[in-house]
A = this chain, B = another copy of it.
Amino acid sequence: MKMEDFVLVSVDDHLVEPPDMFKHHIPAKYRDLAPKVIQRADGTDAWVFEGQEATNVGLNAVAGRPPDEYGAEPTKFAEIREGCYDVHERVRDMNANGVAASLNFPSYPQFCGQYFARAQDKDLGLAVLRAYNDWHVDEWCGAYPGRFIPQALPPIWDPQLMAAEVHRMAGKGCSAVTFSENPEKVGYPSLHNEHWDPFWRACSDTGTIVNLHIGSSSSVVITSLDAPVDTMITLQPINIVQAAADLVWSPVLRKFPDLLLALSEGGIGWIPYFLERIDRVYTMHRAWTKQDFGDKLPSEVFLERIVTCFIVDSFGLRSRDALNLDMVTWECDYPHSDSTWPLAPESLAPHLDGMPDAEINKITHENALRLYQFDMFGKIPREQLTVGALRAQAGDVDLGFRSSERLKKTGTDTVTVLDLAAKLPTIN
């Protein structure tokens, strides 16, 4: 299969919430109380809710910057590429990158809505969270049917409310919810606690996949205080191995045999090692740890139930016979610094070279569409969703680097995908 014929569905991208997001969705009595964007005295932007400021207007949203500016966190909307918060520009950026559809994680509310969970007035918190979810489905995803896989935020402070919201969102066609890779670190019971059973049951009953994104424990592994930042960047994806181990040995997968979870941005190349390890731990230690997987091995349960995804993972793809190829998905990570945008097809193609078309289709889009129950082809004909077809619509999208200060262009001419592909040594 030629690169131009790929159909790319990314199961992990990020949106930056626009300031007017609550306008049409918050109940009238809460209108003045919903989160608002303010400009602070130092010129930076912040969200404010119940007097608490969130300066994370666009976590690591550095798409389009020169690489030597990846380290500077955006502090205001003027420093963020429009495609992060404007859905029309987002679709143009997706087209330029040949991406047919995308699932978007939140920015300022944090990965599992912790910002809303901190509300003193829990009724207000729930109203705001539901307004967020309605905005996400109706406005963001609704603006371009077939282009965005919807995902709900959960009211993490109450498992019964979480269950109700999962059902409500399923009724709106949403089959994904974001949750924490380690809820204990966010201040709630751990994955091992039955506290979450109403939530798991609702997800299981509605076929809603629970996405555990790296970093969703609101903590990062710091090896030492003076470690270079490269250490943290290196470890961020593989740290999800901790959640993977928790899931395997917790009662969750065995208690809810239809529940699926995804390790978002976790990579895949380490997983065959992990599967061998859990089976060895089971075989050697179950006599005293009393684990029981019935007639299965832990690795089999993992392979059946855990959705994996990767940005670039040549070794993982090469080792795909040790994975469940029906559960491997791809992601772009726009607009974060690890993203392959706007050269995702070029970054992916070398690693799919020689792979049978059926396998390429599974990894690039079929698994994502099936698992997230997303009827993309029912909305848009396949031939309009290939890399080649999408890019043909995007000739006027300016892909030139823009400096983070005021997003000024560093060059004067429009820079295209081809220019970039020729200019960058490699982004694989």
Binding site for B on A (CB under 8 A): 66-71, 182, 184-185, 190-193, 221, 223-231, 233-235, 237-238, 241-243, 245-246, 248-250, 267, 269-270, 272-278, 280-285, 287-289, 291, 312-316, 319, 322, 337-338, 425-428
* Contacts known (A249-B231, A267-B277); A223 close to B285, Cβ less than 8 A: no
Decide if A287 touches B427 in the complex (CB within 8 Å).
no
Q: A182-B223, A238-B274, A273-B273 given; name 20 further pairs at CB < 8 Å.
A: A67-B288, A68-B288, A184-B225, A192-B226, A193-B226, A221-B242, A230-B245, A230-B248, A230-B289, A231-B248, A234-B245, A234-B281, A238-B241, A269-B277, A270-B270, A273-B315, A276-B313, A276-B314, A280-B312, A283-B428
CB proximity of A149 to chain B, nearest CB, Å: 25
Decide if B184 touches A277 in the complex (CB within 8 Å).
no
Cα–Cα, bound, A398→B238 (Å): 43
Decide if A191 touches B276 in the complex (CB within 8 Å).
no
Decide if A190 touches B276 in the complex (CB within 8 Å).
no
Decide if B287 touches A67 in the complex (CB within 8 Å).
yes
Decide if A237 touches B277 in the complex (CB within 8 Å).
yes
Cα–Cα, bound, A218→B234 (Å): 23
Q: Which residues of B contact A274 (CB under 8 A)?
A: 234, 238, 270
Q: Which residues of B contact A69 (CB under 8 A)?
A: 288
Q: Among A67, A313, A315, A316, which residue has the most Cβ atoms of chain B within 10 A?
A: A315
Q: Which residues of B contact A238 (CB under 8 A)?
A: 238, 241, 270, 273-274, 277
* Contacts known (A273-B316, A280-B428, A283-B425); A246 close to B223, Cβ less than 8 A: yes
CB proximity of A339 to chain B, nearest CB, Å: 9
26 residue pairs from A and B, CB less than 8 Å apart: A68-B287, A68-B288, A71-B289, A182-B223, A182-B224, A190-B224, A221-B242, A228-B289, A230-B249, A230-B285, A230-B291, A231-B245, A231-B246, A234-B249, A234-B277, A235-B242, A237-B277, A238-B274, A270-B274, A272-B315, A273-B315, A280-B312, A280-B428, A283-B428, A284-B337, A319-B319
Q: Which residues of B contact A322 (CB under 8 A)?
A: 315
Q: Which residues of B contact A234 (CB under 8 A)?
A: 245, 248-249, 274, 277-278, 281
Decide if B425 touches A276 in the complex (CB within 8 Å).
no
Q: Which residues of B contact A246 (CB under 8 A)?
A: 223-224, 227, 231
Q: Which residues of B contact A337 (CB under 8 A)?
A: 284-285
CB proximity of A405 to chain B, nearest CB, Å: 14
Cα–Cα, bound, A277→B311 (Å): 11
Decide if B242 touches A223 in the complex (CB within 8 Å).
yes
CB proximity of A10 to chain B, nearest CB, Å: 17
Q: Which residues of B contact A250 (CB under 8 A)?
A: 227-228
Q: Which 9 A-B pairs have the closest CB atoms?
A: A269-B273, A190-B224, A67-B287, A68-B287, A184-B224, A71-B288, A230-B249, A270-B273, A234-B245
Decide if B276 touches A229 in the complex (CB within 8 Å).
no
Decide if B273 touches A245 in the complex (CB within 8 Å).
no
Q: Which residues of B contact A185 (CB under 8 A)?
A: 224
Decide if B289 touches A192 in the complex (CB within 8 Å).
no
Q: Which residues of B contact A182 (CB under 8 A)?
A: 223-224
Decide if B230 touches A282 in the complex (CB within 8 Å).
yes
Cα–Cα, bound, A138→B312 (Å): 52
